[in-house]
Amino acid sequence: MNKLILADSQAIFRAGTAKVLAMDEGLRIIAQCPDLDRMYHAITTFPGSIILFAASMRPELPRLKMLIETMGSRGIVIAENTDAASTYLQQGFRGVVFRNVTGNALVECVRRVAAGETWLPPQVMMPDSPEEDMVGTRVRDRLTPKEMRIVALISQGCKNREIASRLKTTEQVIKNYLRSIYDKTGVSDRLELALFTIHHRVLAQAAAEVGNKIEAEEQAAAPPAVA
């Protein structure tokens, strides 16, 4: 049984990764960490583990590599789709997967690293232009502005209550919109929606832009700080 420590600040993707890995009987997730402090604590608490961590958490890579080696563990980086995998391998980590890795490839990577091998996936072939991602473009164009706002917030890991609060509506209204969004994207739940979004660059870019717009609007509406 291979012990896994999963560290990712993005809750919905951490949950998705855990769901995929839990399907393999030879893998056991012993800790899920939403921040660096908990990840470092888990690494020292559970020596001899496979550490699967998101590069977006921005750890001090030399320090992390040294800690992992000291504890007899091995590290796998969850890189952003635009990162170069070789950058992390050159620093001594045993494997790299991208955010849009398939479930089968993720499990294979963990198995290989657990067996003492190094895993370097083929570089993700991103569309040369947004227009080439036909599925993402079609879904983006079908979503209404309100639906896109909901997709953006779900991609950030927000629950229905928080989405309703930030969009100044009710949870029931959000649930109604989600049913429409699921129909348009062909997914069945919020986790699949988040994964679908990140797998399609056009949709991911649109969601990120809308998310930034929502944050800017909230900051503009916030009362000025008292001196």
- According to CATH, what is the number of the domain 2-114? 3.40.50.2300
Convert the pLDDT of each residue in 87-102 to its tens digit. 888 888 999 998 877 7
DSSP three-state, residue 211: helix
Q: Do domains 2-114 and 130-221 have the same CATH topology?
A: no
Does the domain formed by 130-221 have CATH 3.40.50.300? Answer: no
Give the confidence band of 162 by pLDDT, cuts at 50, 70, 90. very high
Task: Compute the average pLDDT of residues 132-136.
Answer: 77
Residue 145 tokens read as 């502005």
What is the 3-state secondary structure of 92-147? Answer: CCCEEEECCCCHHHHHHHHHHHHCCCCECCCCCCCCCCHHHCHHHHHHHHHCCHHH
119 vs 198: which has the higher pLDDT: 119
Q: Where are the domains of the chain?
A: 2-114, 130-221
